[in-house]
Structure 1
Amino acid sequence: MKPTLSIVKIGGAFLEEPGLVESFTEAFTALKGLKLLVHGGGKRATELSHRMGIEPRVVDGRRITDSASLEVAVMVYGGWANKTLVARLQAMGCNALGLSGADANLIRARKRPAGDIDYGFVGDIESVNVPAVSALLEAGFVPAFCALTHDGQGQLLNTNADTIAADLAAGLSQRYATRLLYCFEKAGVLEDIANPSSVIPRIDRAAYDQLRAEGKIAAGMLPKLHNCFQALEKGVGQVFIGAPEMLRPGHHIHTEIRL
């Protein structure tokens, strides 16, 4: 039987408030078994961009990354966000190791070709170095990935953190029974965005198509759910969306994504 591995993605907004980062790091540290973390940092990157006179651009929940925006992403994702989170986890007794896709050639990507939209220095993942990530896990480390990959030719690439989490979960499903957990500020996917209690317990493709047609799913949730379905198709065992409390035993308020 394959050992269980939990891949947890956390939004960068949780790093902005001490109470939120503390509650998340406590829940993540208490999570039993092998685990790894993927984090964002978009909110702080947007704030820093404004301070530097760089106007951020986002299309359908995905960030346009020109050369100036890439510098900001590297500073925030690979620097402030990653090391702040690693330090907090170490304070909780969780032996986290901060990483980008370039470290140990862990995640290789290619620059997205320009089409109707030129996303700039945005990476589409080509491969996950499963043996190297497995070696870190089995050595007792908890990998903490920021939203940066590389092309193997010296170019860093901004890569959607949800996609990184999904591709890590899919690749590592070769060796582990993987479950993917997307943590954000709400308790799950909501039927009514104005009602925080309207959590949808399960969403399959048919339900997703209906919710999208009704306009109940939009903006940043669209690419997140797309990644969820792709992960399941590639062998990930379970996928959940919810607040960090869903990491705790016995907590059942979240949304499960099914094919």
Structure 2
Amino acid sequence: MSRGTVNIVVPPPQIAPAPTHAPQQPHGPVQHVASNDNLELFVDLMMGAPLPIYVEEDVPGRDEIVKLIEKHGGMVATVHSTVPYILVDPTKESGQNLFRQYSAKRGKVILNAQWVHACVAAGQLQTFQFNYAGYKVNGTERDQPAPQEPEFPRTATRHTDPALPPGSAFPTSTQYQQWLEYAQYPAQPQQPYWATTGQQYSALTVPVIEGPAYPPYPSHPGDEQNWVAPGEDIEQYYDHVDFQQPPYPSQVNTDSLPRKKQV
């Protein structure tokens, strides 16, 4: 038996194909849940029932507070006579009225409405063990003084005239000084003008004017002509020698007058 040659064929090494990866899918939004988001925060653990809470109508942000109570297992009551927790605004008259009405009754606590936010932030019901987080109403909230307004420096209100340029004839101080001196001494009464001279005149004395008081009137055309006829003597019109003046009544002799006969 002859031995033949055996050819051993070695196959080339095969490279494993690269694994195919599925395309990465985008991640959806991750919801972060707060560690203190207790959905059974306002639940009565002994009874296992929602904790009834009354929220006064005048509370600021009441809608948000109501949503927080209902979201965390509580129940908002419509009346305040049957609930253990009454939330009010202590700075308003309505909140003070509820405090005076229920502060002395057992099983009722009057709290500031911000107590809900404090419980949600702490993740635990803030009861008397935690002093109600400092939100228990004590009736003195309205007696606290209001915050004072910041004081601003007062501005000067006095009017000051601007300084005059150098070389001014009347400085400002001199003008003010003259004005003050004038205002300090009032005006004195003045004497009549005739008392200031050596010769005094009486107020009733009428001065005598010598000569014509008024200048003669100017002549008019034709005044130089005489109004008498030519050759006529003008003196005859001024001859009053033959004129007889009738007697005055006081000069008449009544004895020569006829008397009226008496009947």
**Bigger strand share:** 1
**More relative contact order, 1 or 2 (CA 8 Å, 6+ apart):** 1
TM-score between the two structures when normalised by the length of structure 1: 0.23
Larger radius of gyration: 2
TM-score between the two structures when normalised by the length of structure 2: 0.23
